Amino acid sequence: MGYNFPNSSIKREYSFSLSAKDHFVQSSQDGVAIIRSGKPPEFIKMNLDFDPLYGIYVQEFCQAVKNGGAFASDLSAMKTTMEIIDAAYKSASNGVAISI
């Protein structure tokens, strides 16, 4: 992943890959490719551009500060998100499903 300064005409660099026992997933500018042993590659077209979400998030944050309201993402939501991410890493390293 990478980042360009706001208002740049160049999109930030964003990529990810996932590897499992039976497949490999690689993102591209237009979606993701899924490669499975002995099968032709599969491509799923999707929009991974999250730039439009930044303005929405900032507007909601400013409104919450101005009106004394709740934030769209509070520490409790972030904690829950991290628990899911941690469980995914643990599951991947141990090769078993993790209950949350």
Task: Return the pLDDT at 22.
Answer: 92
Q: Where are the domains of the chain?
A: 1-49, 50-93
b/e 57-89 (16+ beta carbons within 10 angstroms → b): eeeeeeeeeeeeeeeeeeeeeeeeeeeeeeeee
Structure tokens at 95: 């090769």
pLDDT tens, residue by residue, 32-65: 999 999 999 999 999 887 777 878 888 888 998 8
Give yes or no for a contact between 24 and 17, defined as CB atoms under 8 angstroms apart: yes
What's the CA gap between 32 and 18, in Å, rounded?
10
Q: Confidence band (pLDDT; 50, 70, 90) for 9? A: low
Mean pLDDT of 75-98: 88
pLDDT tens, residue by residue, 18-36: 888 899 999 988 899 999 9
Give yes or no for a contact between 53 and 61, defined as CB atoms under 8 angstroms apart: no
